[in-house]
Structures are given as C-alpha cells and as structure tokens.
Amino acid sequence: MNSSQKPVKGRPKYIVLTGGVGGAKLCQGLARVLEPSQLLFVVNTGDDFTHLGLHISPDVDSLMYALAGLSSRERGWGRDDETWNCLETLKKLGGESWFRLGDRDLALHLKRTADLAAGKTLTQSIASIKKGLRVKNRIVPMSNDPVRTKIDTDEGMLSFQEYFVSRQCQPKVNRVVYQGTWDARMASSVHTFLQSAELRGTIICPSNPVLSIDPILEVEGMRDWLRFPHTPRVAVSPIIGGEAVKGPTAKIFKELGKEVNAIGVAKHYGTLLDGFIYDRRDHYLETRFKGMPLPARSTDTLMQTDADKEALARNVLQFIDDISLENVFGKLEPYDA
C-alpha cells in the first residue's frame, strides 16, 4: 500500500498503537507517507480467541489485510476476495458458525495455529504471514503472552467475541477487564524500537479506547513508558459528533459514565497525551478544548478514501513535529487544519 509519493523521508520513527478496522485505516495512511522502517505498528491482541481449535487475532488480521490492500470495503471486515464454502458446510454439519470464517481467511488462522503449535511466537508467526501477504511494514502484537479482554455486563462476564459477535454489543457494560496483563510482557521488538534514537513520537489510532487501546496500555511497561516519553504522544478521536464511526465505542462510553464525544476520549487518555486530534465536524468543542491543558486540533478524521487516510496521517505527523518544536520554542496554539 505504499504509494510512490513519499514526501516525508528518512529518519524519524513512530510507534503506532492500533486496534481494529478504524485504526487500520490510519495505519494505511501512515504506510503511504512513511518508509516501512519508520513505523512500528503495535496491535491489540486482547480480542484474540480460540475458535474451532484455531488461534484468531482479529485486530492483527484487520491490519494485515488493510496494509495488503485486501480489506473488504463492503463488509467492513475480512477479505474482499472471499468465499464461504467451508462455513456453509460447517453449518450443515451442525458446527459452530456464528463467527464468519471465510475460506481464504481460514488459511491465515490455520497457518498461525500451526506456527504457534510449532513453538513460534505470535510475533514470528505474524512476520511469516505478512511476508506471504507482501506487507512490508512491521507489525507486532502488544505482547506474545496471552491477554484476554473480558466484558463485565448486566448479563455476566462475557469474552470479547461473545459480547461483540454473539451478543452484538447489546448487554450493558459495567466494567472491562484485561486478563493476563500482569504477566504479559511487551514484545521485545517494541522495547528495541522505543529505545531507538530516531523515535519522533507515539500515535494512538482512532480505535475503541476501552476495548482496543487500553489492553495495549495495560501490558507491563507500556503505560510506564508512555508516562515518561522523550517524544510527543498524539491520539486521534474515534468519536465524531457523539457517535463512533464504527463499533460500540459511543455506547460503551455512555455505559461507563464517560462523556460521549471527543472531550470524553481526550479525558479518557488524560495525562498520557501531548496532543489530541478531533474531527472538524466537532468544531463546536473548540472552546472547551482551549480550556484544557492539552493541545488539540480539529481536522477531517473520517477516512473514506486512500487520500483521506493519507491526509490524516500527514496532519498527525505535522502535529507531532509542531509539538516537538513547541517543547523548544514555547506554547503551541490550537489550530484548525
């Protein structure tokens, strides 16, 4: 997905925290304007689960398919060139068919499951699979250790997939728990990347803060590192005009008693941020953002075309540059791109 145009060249490196489909769009934009060596995508694996004996990593797969240019636009998940013969047959045989496994997608899960059974780490398996998909960007799981996001709802404790797919986000969320984070270590490639002299900033993608980004932050060492960074940390709001572009972010924010808008997202991340980007449609929030100690910018964050993705990526990178300069030359004024 790297375009031939690469205006931002050379050194600076960025670590990018991302979850599912929304985050993957910004990653695509970043991959279009930066060299693969400049980016490390750290992906949520709290939604990983075992289904029919297969290890499934939904967010990693969404990102790989997006970067390979294989994502289905119509469906919003999975591959574009998909067939469903296995799933249809499985249904006839009385097998579990609630999770929509395409024939081609299945190959990826079989490969990963075989890799893990052979003793490879998730990082190694992803590296091998993305090579097959001709993706050149570096993609690492937030941890090679298992973390499982559980949703404490009015129907009891549900796994992410039970909540998201089987129950279609209908139960009321009381609390979200990230099982395994205490024992989960950052993938070693994240450590190495964080220590590189060229690191220019951290980007938090417009993914669900509670379900996709928080699990990453909970991995041992990650939040600590983000608390004392040498470089700016910038997040993009996944909520536009009081609604999430996709998924249950708005509903969950409401149920958790958070303000359902970009302010709520900025407050959720709190002091972990040096900059915040919200949508130009939410310009009415400008005064409130001006009253906060966090530099914020509004721009077009709704990524429908590749050009949209690329434009948002450039805005995020520019914002990081501006914050870096501010650290040298003094306070930064909010601005509207």
Instruction: Give the footprint of its own copies on this chain (CB under 8 A).
Output: 52-54, 83, 85-90, 92-96, 103-104, 106-108, 110-111, 113-114, 117, 128-129, 131-133
Kindly tell me which of 104 and 148 has the beta carbon lying closer to its own copies.
Answer: 104
> Which of 24, 15, 18, 12 is closest to 306 using CA atoms?
24
- Which amino acid is located at 240 in the chain? I
Asked if 48 contacts 57 with a C-beta cutoff of 8 angstroms, the reply is: yes
**Minimum CB separation from its own copies for residue 58, in Å?**
17
**Minimum CB separation from its own copies for residue 37, in Å?**
23
211-250 burial, b if ≥16 CB within 10 A, otherwise e? bbbbbbbbbeebeebbeeeebbbbbbbbbbeeebbbbbbb
Strand, helix or coil at 114? helix
**Minimum CB separation from its own copies for residue 110, in Å?**
5
**Minimum CB separation from its own copies for residue 162, in Å?**
17
Asked if 310 contacts 32 with a C-beta cutoff of 8 angstroms, the reply is: yes
Asked if 33 contacts 41 with a C-beta cutoff of 8 angstroms, the reply is: no
Pairing of strands 233-236, 239-240: unpaired
Strand, helix or coil at 155? coil
Query: What's the CA gap between 336 and 223, in Å, rounded?
Result: 29
Kindly tell me which of 118 and 328 has the beta carbon lying closer to its own copies.
Answer: 118
**Minimum CB separation from its own copies for residue 124, in Å?**
12
Kindly tell me which of 99 and 225 has the beta carbon lying closer to its own copies.
Answer: 99
**Minimum CB separation from its own copies for residue 89, in Å?**
4
Kindly tell me which of 61 and 282 has the beta carbon lying closer to its own copies.
Answer: 61
**Minimum CB separation from its own copies for residue 123, in Å?**
16
Backbone Cα Rg of the chain: 19
Kindly tell me which of 88 and 183 has the beta carbon lying closer to its own copies.
Answer: 88
Strand partners, 177: 150
Task: Tell me 10's DSSP state.
Answer: S
**Minimum CB separation from its own copies for residue 64, in Å?**
10
Strand partners, 297: 277
Kindly tell me which of 108 and 210 has the beta carbon lying closer to its own copies.
Answer: 108
Beta strand spans in 35-133 (E): 39-43, 49-51, 54-56
Kindly tell me which of 53 and 291 has the beta carbon lying closer to its own copies.
Answer: 53
Residue reference for tokens 């608390």:
227
Kindly tell me which of 50 and 271 has the beta carbon lying closer to its own copies.
Answer: 50
DSSP 265-276: HHHHHGGG-SEE
